[in-house]
Structure 1
Amino acid sequence: ASFFDLAPAEIAACMELLAQERMALDCEFNPDGYNIGVNVSKAAGQSIFHVHIHFIPRYAGDSPRPQGGVRQVIPG
């Protein structure tokens, strides 16, 4: 299944979960920003073939060039 296979109510539930997690992470770790992403199909980089959302807290200076979002988060 992919993100595009989700029903509208399932997408809404995912967005609510992201909002809840953001509040928790903001309180505990106070990140400067977030990357949120979904890979759909092998061509797009999906390697685990079930629906999941990448939610990555970011901090100023954690990457020398944050342009491009998640492409630069994990070295190598």
Structure 2
Amino acid sequence: MNYDKGEVCPFCRLSRKVEIICETATCVAFYDGYPVSLGHALIIPKRDVASYFDLTNHEREAMNVMLQYVKQKVDERYHPNGYNIGINVNEAAGQSVFHVHMHLIPRYKDDVPNPKGGVRGVIPSKQKY
């Protein structure tokens, strides 16, 4: 799965330090070890697959159901003002762990000077319109 020197996928062997938010037979959600904001969470399928587009319909639906639950938990704990939701697919899009993972990134008022454009900011010159 694109790991050097026989490394194991970090999502297949989660650190004991990871705070699990919830888990089902199909997927698991936990707080990101390198959060970009308070409450940044990841939702992953348990099956080790690199691309979101290779998930089964059941796996995609399970991730979306879990997304709703995790959002509720993050709302209760951190009270963000908004969210970005994203999935990176392939290295060109910034994927660095080749096990599908959905980011739920809480956003807070004034966390950036001008949030207009949101996820369009992955290509900075295209964020503003």
TM-score category by the smaller chain? 0.7 to 0.9
TM-score normalised according to structure 2 size: 0.52
SS at match of 1:67: coil
Question: In the alignment, does 2:104 pair up with 1:36?
Answer: no
- Residue 104 of structure 2 is matched in structure 1 by 55
SS of equivalent residue, structure 1 residue 40: coil
> Given the alignment of the two structures, is residue 14 of structure 1 paired with residue 41 of structure 2, yes or no?
no
Q: Which has the greater radius of gyration? A: 2
CA offset digits 1:21-48 (Å, max 9, x no partner): 1111111111111000001011111111
Secondary structure at 2:104 match in 1: strand
Q: How many residues align?
A: 72
Instruction: State the partner residue of 2:7.
Output: none
Amino acid of the structure 2 residue aligned with 1:10: E
In structure 2, what is the Cα distance between the partners aligned to 1:4 and 1:12? 13
Which has the higher relative contact order, 1 or 2, with Cα contacts under 8 A spaced 6 or more apart? 1
Q: Structure 1's 46 and 68: CA in aligned 2 closer, same or farther, altered over 3 A?
A: farther
Q: Gaps spanning 5+ residues in structure 2: where?
A: 1-49, 123-129
From 72, 95, 110, give the equivalent of 1:23.
72
CA shift at 1:66, angstroms? 1.2
The answer as to 2:110 corresponding to 1:46 is no
TM-score, normalisation: structure 1:
0.85
Matched, 1:65 2:100: no
What is the CA-CA distance between 1:67 and the residue it aligns to? 2.6
One-letter code of the match for 1:15? Answer: N
Pick the structure with more helix per residue.
Answer: 1
Work out the percentage of aligned pairs sharing the same amino acid. Answer: 51
